[in-house]
């Protein structure tokens, strides 16, 4: 095989609990990831040598600071002489939006290069490589609904969620995940007796549950809304237009509302208040649909 075209998907977090600060400086998380029908395109081709990336649709670095290049470089490490690759990335998933676009592109690069370079690595080995690229990467090697534990890179696959539809708000802002977690530290560390607390299982619902008003709570939401107060208005509009629940995805700024049908989601987004706001209707992608959409056979 010398070329491959893949469609990396975005994710949302259907609930995100921050449990404490870990000795490695990361935060201990409990989150429910869900792949959704918003995709980039990644075209990969073998080349005689070297790694080359071209990007369309966004301004992104094309050196090792790009997660796709970094994934390819880590994959090559210690594997002797391998051919090179030419990669072409067409971006549609907004950058630094809490939708995991960069991590998903990196996971697709790992899956694609594993095939093109005939490395025959299994999912567990790819997850180990992926977690060195970024904490969200291993999830995209599983897809569908999954619990993310540890740094978010310990993945427990869940059954596909009951069908629902999403209205996703894409504010024209970027949020640095690192900065949002620093804000969490400033607000919460002084009051935590031991920084590494355990999940308390309080009454607000656990992300392992089916998505609901209780379980989609995101512990980073208030911090991000304090920084960007217009997000509170969007959450309120989603709820007033019939969303069963509305929450921030990841470290934001993207937000979503959950609806029972596509028609309800579209109706909620049709009001004049959304004029000038980038909103989309989309559906979750279950695991089998995710792999079909990505363009690869379902992983083991
Ligand atoms: O792993 P990734 O590079 O995507 O994470 C970006 C930043 O987000 C990390 O450098 C860290 O500051 C923060 N982070 C964290 N705890 C996590 C995941 C990310 O503190 N579980």
| Shared-domain flag, residues 28 and 139 | yes
Question: Do 144 and 224 fall within a single domain?
Answer: no
Q: What is the CATH number of the domain that holds 211?
A: 3.30.70.890
Count of domains observed in the chain: 2
| Nearest atom within ligand 1 for CA of residue 137 | 4
Which ligand 1 atom sits nearest the alpha carbon of residue 102? Answer: 4
DSSP 193-250: SSSBPPP---TT--TTSPS-TTTT-BTTHHHHHHHSTHHHHHHHHHHHTT-SEEEE-T
Grouped pLDDT means (10 residues each) for the chain, 300 residues: 94 96 96 98 96 97 96 94 96 97 98 97 97 98 98 97 96 95 93 58 74 91 97 97 97 97 97 94 97 89
**26 alpha carbon to ligand 1 midpoint, in Å?**
6
Known catalytic residues?
A: 11, 136
Residues 12, 118 within the same domain: yes
**pTM metric for this prediction:** 0.95
Provide DSSP, 117-179.
Answer: TT----HHHHHHHHHHH-TTTGGGGT-SEEEEEETTTEEEEEPPPPP-EEEEE--S----HHH
Same domain? 152 vs 229: no
Ligand 1 centre distance from Cα of residue 46 (Å): 31
pLDDT at residue 214 in the model? 83
Domain range for residue 98? 3-158
State residue 291 phi and psi, 5-degree precision. Answer: -70, -35
Residue 30, SS3 per DSSP? strand
Query: Does 154 share its domain with 180?
Result: no
List 116's β-bridge partners, or say none: none
Does the Cβ of 136 fall within 6 Å of ligand 1?
yes
- Could you tell me if the CB of 26 is within 6 A of ligand 1? yes
Clarify whether residues 48 and 12 are in a common domain. Answer: yes
Q: In which order are the strands placed within the sheet that holds 27-39?
A: 9-21, 27-39, 145-150, 154-158
The domain that holds 122 is classified in CATH as: 3.30.230.10
Q: Is 29 in the pocket of ligand 1 (CB under 6 A)?
A: yes
């Amino acid at each position: 095989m010398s070329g491959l075209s893949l469609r990396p998907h975005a994710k949302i977090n259907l609930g995100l609990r921050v449990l404490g600060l870990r000795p490695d400086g990361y935060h201990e998380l409990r989150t429910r990831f869900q792949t959704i029908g918003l995709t980039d395109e990644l075209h990969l081709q073998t080349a005689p040598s070297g790694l080359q990336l071209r990007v369309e649709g966004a301004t992104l670095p094309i050196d090792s600071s790009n997660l796709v290049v970094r994934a390819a470089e880590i994959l090559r490490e210690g594997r002797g002489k391998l051919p090179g690759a030419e990669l072409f990335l067409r971006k549609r998933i907004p950058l630094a939006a809490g939708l995991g676009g960069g991590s998903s592109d990196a996971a697709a690069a790992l899956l694609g290069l594993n095939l093109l370079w005939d490395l025959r690595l299994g999912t567990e080995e790819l997850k180990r490589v992926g977690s060195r690229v970024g904490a969200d990467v291993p999830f995209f090697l599983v897809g569908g609904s999954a619990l993310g534990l540890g740094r978010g890179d310990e993945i427990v696959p869940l059954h596909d969620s009951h069908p629902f539809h999403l209205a996703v708000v894409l504010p024209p802002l970027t949020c640095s995940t690192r900065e949002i977690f620093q804000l969490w530290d400033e607000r919460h560390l002084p009051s935590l007796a031991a920084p590494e607390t355990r999940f308390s299982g309080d009454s607000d619902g656990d992300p392992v549950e089916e998505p609901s008003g209780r379980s989609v709570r995101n512990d980073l939401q208030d911090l991000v809304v304090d920084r960007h107060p217009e997000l509170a208005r969007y959450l309120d509009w989603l709820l007033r237009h019939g969303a069963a629940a509305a929450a921030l995805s990841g470290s934001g700024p993207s937000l979503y509302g959950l609806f029972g049908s596509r028609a309800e989601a579209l109706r909620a987004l049709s009001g004049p208040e959304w004029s000038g706001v980038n909103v989309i209707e989309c559906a979750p992608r279950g695991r089998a649909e995710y792999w079909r959409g990505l363009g690869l056979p379902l992983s083991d």
